[in-house]
Chains A and B, each alone.
Chain A
């Protein structure tokens, strides 16, 4: 008699829950480390880890495309940009600098209050979510791939926002040029 493979002992629910808690812990821990680290380089690396944890959560929620974009754009693009600027700007200063600004205690209390308030509202209000909006085309959607669905939406319903997003990126590009070019 063959032994059953180990993963069958875990129900799919428990599997998802376990993964969720692992990723959530990773996200929260690295997020806290990001905002508390003394050295911006460390902070950036922690942020990368937090963002990877977030991408894992996206995969767990069956949003593969957003998860992939998160890894490619955030981790691969934005964070590298951050690291470049840190190298360019602030290496000398990090050692001597005091970490927090003057009003940090007030801000911390404010943040904790905000957090509790939002958590309270979320927990109180979560049962009233509308789940009756599932329309016909979405039932077909469940058979197609996530990337296909999202891509289809981007080029149909969300065509105009898509174009504006491209204008936005153009503006950001001009902005970067204006800001960093040397004055002649």
Chain B
């Protein structure tokens, strides 16, 4: 038993602060409960320090349960960053919607704990438990607008498909355990290497696990829940699902495929290839016809999962690096776009159709420029983070000689241009209708948006610094 607290320090910090908030809730008057968000913010800052304390160390702690490595540290910083942004926008959101419930922050912190465990886990049991901590927190967060039917429906749909996919994932893990005699990543890899005549059971296990992860990352054909849930959930939670939840499942999948099943890469590449094609095609084509911007972004997030999958299929060191870079770029632009959607949506998210964006570009130049940058980046136009991300991921696929896949990816991205630009066109060409409630942008949101815009442009023009970090992290 090798206890190494620095390996799980961020998780401990987050959990402790979460419990503290829980204990404080009864003593804080309801209207003031959004202030508990600052305490949660302090928790995340402490967690950042926790990551810093273990920076650069490598270890395999708690009887081979958890990795402490560069990949894990990179992922932890990424998830903590995403949680910080989501925490700040949700404080604004809760205030605006008069949802005075401190439990929101507690669930957000525990969801983060789940993500961190998924990214560093070294055992399938740990991965599964991390996934469950994340999932159960997000089921509730998706249904947080208690009085609104759409929100409880979103929670139910997300829960149902989540639980259903968990069962498949578990069935797969059970088969892998049966075929290799262990649930620990490294021991499974060893067992597979030792006996090259793999049992059929192992393949079935791997396939079922892919189904489970496919649901969580929202890959076609397991993506059907995404638009409804993204539309019904409160906007900060849509951001959480689209960026953090998807990212956590994807990074766990990267580790599992690259570290546990590298010897079976031909087999899983054969599964991933068609999934990537379907995901990109369905995401981009379905997004074309959407009139609600939340649904459009939901399909766009499916498409982006497809691009990430192209990288995952490539299976080379450049691919891991590309995936990590793309994930950060994707987080910047998706978070940014959703923040604008929240600002324009106003109270009770009444203004979420694309028509509501008519003429906003001239009336509110700041919002117009910000959303344009994010959408251009999502579309993958040069000088933005999205372009660089696609460049790295696709060139990894070219390196593995997957030309067909890259061509399909390029064609579908070209389709994607249309629906992203449509919003920009309506922002600048559409006629502005006088509004009942004017759009207000609070100071914190303005600062976050500015930073995200600058980040998107910075990564698009000077990707070197992040790329170097990703390169370090990509070596398992």
Contact of B180 among A121, A122, A130, A158 (CB under 8 A): A130
Interface positions, chain B 158-212, Cβ under 8 Å from A, are 178-182, 191, 195, 197-204
Chain A's closest residue to B129 (CB) is A164
| Stretch from A8-16, A41-49, A76-84, A165-173 at the B interface | A165-173
A157 to B3, CA, bound (A): 11
* A145 close to B (CB within 8 Å): no
Interface string of A122-144 (1 = CB under 8 A from B): 10111011100100000000000
Contact of A178 among B101, B130, B179, B201 (CB under 8 A): B101
* B15 close to A (CB within 8 Å): yes
* A96 close to B (CB within 8 Å): no
Q: Quick check: B66 and A160 within 8 Å, CB to CB? A: yes
Q: Smallest CB–CB gap between A87 and chain B, Å?
A: 20
* A112 close to B (CB within 8 Å): no
Q: Quick check: B63 and A157 within 8 Å, CB to CB? A: yes
A129 to B200, CA, bound (A): 10
| Stretch from B51-59, B139-147, B233-241 at the A interface | B139-147
* B123 close to A (CB within 8 Å): yes
* A111 close to B (CB within 8 Å): no
* A29 close to B (CB within 8 Å): no
Question: Which residues from chain A contact B139 at a C-beta distance below 8 Å?
Answer: 175
Q: Smallest CB–CB gap between B151 and chain A, Å?
A: 12
A158 to B143, CA, bound (A): 33
A183 to B99, CA, bound (A): 10
* A89 close to B (CB within 8 Å): no
* A3 close to B (CB within 8 Å): no
Q: Smallest CB–CB gap between B54 and chain A, Å?
A: 15
List of 6 A-B pairs having minimum Cβ-Cβ separation, nearest first? A125-B200, A128-B199, A125-B201, A133-B181, A160-B62, A175-B140
Interface string of A145-184 (1 = CB under 8 A from B): 0000000000011111100110110111011011100011
Q: 15 A-B Cβ contacts within 8 A?
A: A125-B202, A125-B204, A129-B199, A130-B179, A159-B1, A160-B8, A167-B110, A170-B110, A171-B107, A174-B107, A175-B137, A175-B140, A178-B140, A178-B144, A184-B30
A125 to B195, CA, bound (A): 14
Q: Quick check: A179 and B107 within 8 Å, CB to CB? A: no
A174 to B141, CA, bound (A): 11
Q: Quick check: A121 and B140 within 8 Å, CB to CB? A: no
Q: Quick check: A175 and B191 within 8 Å, CB to CB? A: no
Question: Which residues from chain A contact B228 at a C-beta distance below 8 Å?
Answer: none
* Interface residue ranges, B against A (CB under 8 Å): 1, 8, 15, 19, 22, 30, 62-63, 65-66, 101, 103, 106-107, 110, 113, 117, 123, 125-126, 129-130, 132-133, 136-137, 139-140, 143-144, 146-147, 178-182, 191, 195, 197-204
* A32 close to B (CB within 8 Å): no
Q: Quick check: A159 and B106 within 8 Å, CB to CB? A: no
Q: Quick check: B123 and A161 within 8 Å, CB to CB? A: yes
Main secondary structure of the interface of A (DSSP, over half): helix
Q: Smallest CB–CB gap between A111 and chain B, Å?
A: 13
Chain A's closest residue to B198 (CB) is A128
Q: Quick check: B133 and A171 within 8 Å, CB to CB? A: yes
Q: Smallest CB–CB gap between A46 and chain B, Å?
A: 19
With A133-B182, A164-B133, A174-B22 as contacts: A156 and B63 at CB distance below 8 Å: yes
Q: Quick check: A171 and B1 within 8 Å, CB to CB? A: no
A175 to B178, CA, bound (A): 34
Q: Smallest CB–CB gap between B180 and chain A, Å?
A: 7
Q: Quick check: A172 and B136 within 8 Å, CB to CB? A: yes
* A118 close to B (CB within 8 Å): yes
Q: Quick check: A174 and B30 within 8 Å, CB to CB? A: no
Q: Quick check: B136 and A125 within 8 Å, CB to CB? A: no
Beyond the given A161-B126, A167-B15, please list 19 additional residue pairs across the A-B interface where CB-CB is below 8 A.
A124-B200, A125-B200, A125-B201, A125-B202, A128-B199, A128-B200, A130-B180, A157-B65, A158-B63, A159-B1, A160-B8, A165-B129, A167-B113, A168-B136, A172-B136, A174-B107, A179-B140, A179-B143, A183-B146
Question: Which residues from chain A contact B19 at a C-beta distance below 8 Å?
Answer: 170
Q: Smallest CB–CB gap between A43 and chain B, Å?
A: 17
A128 to B178, CA, bound (A): 10
A164 to B181, CA, bound (A): 23
Q: Quick check: B62 and A159 within 8 Å, CB to CB? A: yes
Question: Which residues from chain A contact B106 at a C-beta distance below 8 Å?
Answer: 174
Question: Which residues from chain B contact A167 at a C-beta distance below 8 Å?
Answer: 15, 110, 113, 133
With A161-B65, A161-B129, A179-B143 as contacts: A128 and B201 at CB distance below 8 Å: yes
Question: Which residues from chain B contact A177 at a C-beta distance below 8 Å?
Answer: 103
Question: Which residues from chain B contact A178 at a C-beta distance below 8 Å?
Answer: 101, 103, 107, 140, 144
A179 to B104, CA, bound (A): 11
Chain B's closest residue to A184 (CB) is B30
Chain B's closest residue to A178 (CB) is B103
Q: Quick check: A125 and B199 within 8 Å, CB to CB? A: yes
Chain A's closest residue to B30 (CB) is A184
Chain A's closest residue to B204 (CB) is A121
Question: Which residues from chain B contact A175 at a C-beta distance below 8 Å?
Answer: 107, 136-137, 139-140
Q: Quick check: B197 and A160 within 8 Å, CB to CB? A: no
Q: Smallest CB–CB gap between B172 and chain A, Å?
A: 11
Q: Quick check: B117 and A126 within 8 Å, CB to CB? A: no
Question: Which residues from chain A contact B132 at a C-beta distance below 8 Å?
Answer: 168
Question: Which residues from chain B contact A124 at a C-beta distance below 8 Å?
Answer: 200
Q: Quick check: A160 and B65 within 8 Å, CB to CB? A: yes
Question: Which residues from chain B contact A171 at a C-beta distance below 8 Å?
Answer: 107, 110, 133, 136-137
Chain A's closest residue to B182 (CB) is A133
A98 to B454, CA, bound (A): 56
Question: Which residues from chain B contact A168 at a C-beta distance below 8 Å?
Answer: 129, 132-133, 136
A121 to B62, CA, bound (A): 35
